[in-house]
Structure 1
Amino acid sequence: MTQSIVLDHRRLIAQCASEYDTMAHSLLSRLKALHEQGPALNPGSLIDFGWSLLQIQAHPQHWVVCEPAYDSDPITWRPEVNETLWVMQQQATLLAELNLVSGQRTRGDQWLWLQPDALTAPDVYLNRSEPSHAQDSGWYIRADTTTNQKGDSRARAIMAGTLARYKPEWLGVLALPIGCLARFEQNHLTAIFDARQQRIYSTQAKPIRLHTSETSDE
């Protein structure tokens, strides 16, 4: 589906799957407000929006809101917003289920630390600590509880957005605040601990339904 608004006689569109129409409309309303506040949006403008940095591109008959393809090198731009809206939906769902008024966002172009074996391990832990710089998300992903970012030479820095391709089920927890730890077993979220090491979610409680990304490629 396509949602659109008009900015100074130029049609600006956001292309997405039908289930994201309401979110896409809200996105465009936000862009219109930014345009009216100034500086005016134009082709090439970059907009910091939740999970993503969006870009406006010019097409012959209209302008298009594009999202980054984080798994391309260098980053390219897709003429749609499916992935951006899907990730934001998953994160908002989780925060609401946990009764957290607000989280702490991770943007797709920020870095996180990953143990290589975490991608295939049956049990995985995602732990968020204080970031060391603006591009650091603070997230460290490991397959065991005995190592940390500073103590494991195997860990490598990757762009958070690349998880959309390899481990989309992890993306929902990336808006949790500093100090949180999330555990996944067989790719299912089974526990979350807060900064005080208090369990705030477990599979013994009400389940949290984080959807798959099957619709993100529509």
Structure 2
Amino acid sequence: MLRIGITGGIGSGKSIVCRLFQVLGAPVYDSDARAKWLMGHDATLRDELTAAFGPATFDAATGQLDRVYLARVAFTDPTQLARLNALVHPAVGRDFEAWSITRKAEGYRYLLKEAALLYESGAYRQLDQIITVFAPQVVRQARVLRRDPHRTPDDILAIIGKQMSEEEKVQRAEHVVYNDDQQPLIPQVLALHGELVK
């Protein structure tokens, strides 16, 4: 069973490409969604987060992760953000390994792992091939402004600045899906699916 990573910068359209693959029957692991779930439910990770960021990381009354507190502590300090990533990324890696074993037992020919920071986190090392979803920066910025009206252009540029360049992701990937509003997505995904199931 092939383990395929799918990545791309904010606004590139990773999620819609993943949905197309899911329609074709491919299982997709959403790293961002699983990271959020694990921070709230994985006992080991909860203990590590509490030790790293203090008891206020989880609400005393409900036991729920206090995302506002954690964002205030971690996302304003690069050292603290690196500390958070050093705890969350390995937990996601372990969770993905267990998920992959189950998918292999179910007989899938390939699976996808969706992650914006596939290279930056080192998660690409778990995978056989990488798909980059590419869109020019001006297109990505416009999409994010439409999708997330609470963000400003400066917010988006700050996020883009923390991600590997699209050009480098394209160079490092085995496959590229162009979501530039010029080339239709469905034929590209169908062709890639056909190649991956062979």
TM-score, L = length of structure 2: 0.25
Q: Say which structure, 1 or 2, has more relative contact order (CA 8 Å, 6+ apart).
A: 2
